[in-house]
Amino acid sequence: MIDTGLISHQMQQLLEDIGPGWMLSTAYDTAWIARLSDRDPELGARALEWLRANQLPDGSWGAPSPRYHHDRLICTLAAMTALAKYGNEQDYQRCQRAQLALRPIANGLLADPPGATAGFEMIAPTLLKEAHDLNLVGDWHNDVLDNLTRYRQAKLAMLPGGMISRAVTVAYSTEMVGPDGLHLLDVDHLQEANGSVGHSPSATAFFALHVRPDDPAAMNYLRNATTDSGGMPVIWPFDVFEPAWTLWNFSLLDEQNNTLIELSQRHLDFLENAWDPTIGIGQAAGFTPKDGDDTGLIYEVLKAYGRAVNPEPIFYYEEDDYYRCFALESNPSISTNVHILSALRAAGLPKEHPSVQKVISFLQRTQTIRLFWFDKWHSSPYYPTAHLIIASAGYADELVDNAVYWTIETQNQDGSWGYYMPTAEETAYCLQALTIWKRSGHPVPDDVLQRGAAWLQHHMDHPLPPLWIGKCLYVPVYVVRSAILSALMLVAQG
């Protein structure tokens, strides 16, 4: 039995706790902070200790699981470079172990189904060159890596005015220019109001090292962003993304008690105040670039909670045959189009509307073996597939019939789901999707839901593996937690 009183209490506590964003530390961004050892010895020393404590058994750095090769490559290159420059004698041995891990990691890049991490084609060539100059890597070659320089140059050629400023998402990967590429930076228009560059600790550390050394605003941002363990998150703050996804998860419920509704109001006020009536919203209130993913989902959230909001910004992201997430993006985002579909539905557009049909056609074309979807923002197909089932249930059922079948058939014997290994996060997504599908009048075996909920109850407090894709894999803790609580409450509500 699901204790709905306990789940409701945990939901209330979550709404009280969410704010600027809680994310577990990543090796990539922590390695960049370690480079500040000469400028802020305390900050750098804590980062170096974090790297020493988090080297993986094979000598690499990155997510312990799943083994995601793009994540492992840039985390390992960044960590070994930081230790080689600022570490001690024992760190030399760590770098040797890391060197042995690099080639098999690079050879597995094509095995990551969703593809590259964010900015990989921009960052990896710079990291490789730096590691090579430090004699940390041999002269081996890899076809995928050898071709990255061309992709990097093509993307730089698309920059407005040929410069990187806070108005373009490339700012999030500013460190990719290296010390020799500072001429590509519009320095006076690069930092955000909070002192960061792209709300990215790694990009901001590069800025404080090579662009404006010891910049007070940048250093203050980094000190505020560091975790208690000395590590760094991949992005901070994300004060729109965290409450928005949490509220979206809770909005799926048949009903919420008065306390939950009351606790949601300050977050709704915050989202409404951050909403731009022309171009929507981004992942944080102080983040200059806006995007179609946050805009679509937050429009739906505001509508679901009774806030007056105009759908006009959704159409700002409309392209010829899909909806974009960001300008200058290398490839479209599946989840962005899923959330746009939900937003168009919430705006009252019928399925036959040309804008809706555009999204449906795009999603039909991009379905993997006509069963599920992968997305560039999440390593698991269960995330975009589950969200699309929810968006389509009772609206565009034929789009997801096969996906529902696939979801049910891929449940593990113990009741869990997981693409790489069983996880509470993916199990929650599948339970959300199947309960909404059932609510819309379709049959779902009750045993599937009950076994899934039973497994989830016993594993909901286990460590969360990083499945979300940024520059490396990461986990937005409260966002995932809200999905778990939502799934359990949905099953309990029937």
Residue 145 has a pLDDT of: 75
- Among 1.50.10.20, 1.10.1740.10, 3.40.50.1820, 1.20.1050.10, name the CATH number for the domain at 4-19+238-493: 1.50.10.20
DSSP bridge partners of 200:
197
Domain span(s) for CATH 1.50.10.160 in the chain: 27-168
b/e sequence 73-96, b meaning 16+ C-beta within 10 Å: bbbbbbbbbbbbebbeeebeebbe
Residue 158 has a pLDDT of: 74
Residue range 29-54, pLDDT digits in tens? 999 999 999 999 999 999 999 999 99
Q: What is the mean pLDDT of the chain?
A: 95
Q: Which of 288, 299, 301 is nearest to 327 (CA)?
A: 288
Helix pair 120-133, 69-86: axis angle to 10 deg: 40
Given a cut of 90, whether residue 109 has pLDDT beyond it is yes
Helix pair 258-274, 4-17: axis angle to 10 deg: 30
Distances (CA, A) of 394 to 13, 119, 208, 433, 438: 32, 37, 52, 12, 10
Domain span(s) for CATH 1.50.10.20 in the chain: 4-19+238-493
pTM over 0.85: yes
Query: Count of H helices and E strands in the chain?
Result: 21, 2
Mean pLDDT, residues 264-282 taken together: 98
DSSP bridge partners of 423:
417
Mean pLDDT, residues 152-174 taken together: 84
| Res. 1 pLDDT band, cuts 50 70 90 | confident
H-type helices in 108-257, by residue range? 120-133, 143-146, 148-157, 201-206, 216-225, 241-251
Does domain 27-168 fall under CATH 1.50.10.160? My reply is yes
| Res. 137 pLDDT band, cuts 50 70 90 | confident
* Encoded amino acid at 476, one letter: P
What residue has token string 């290398």? 330
Residue range 227-239, pLDDT digits in tens? 989 999 999 999 9
Residue range 174-200, pLDDT digits in tens? 999 988 889 999 999 999 999 999 999
- Token couple for 374: 């992968």
SS3 444: coil
* Cα–Cα dist 28/472, whole Å: 7
| Res. 122 pLDDT band, cuts 50 70 90 | confident
* Cα–Cα dist 205/232, whole Å: 11
Pseudo-torsion of CA 215, 220, 225, 231, nearest 10°? 70
Number of C-beta neighbours around residue 422 at 10 A: 16
| Res. 23 pLDDT band, cuts 50 70 90 | very high
- Token couple for 238: 């994300």
Q: In angstroms, how far is the first alpha carbon of the chain from the final one?
A: 12
Mean pLDDT, residues 93-107 taken together: 94
CB of 35 within 8 A of CB of 86? yes
Given a cut of 80, whether residue 139 has pLDDT beyond it is no
Q: Which of 63, 181, 77 is nearest to 124 (CA)?
A: 77
Residue 330 has a pLDDT of: 79
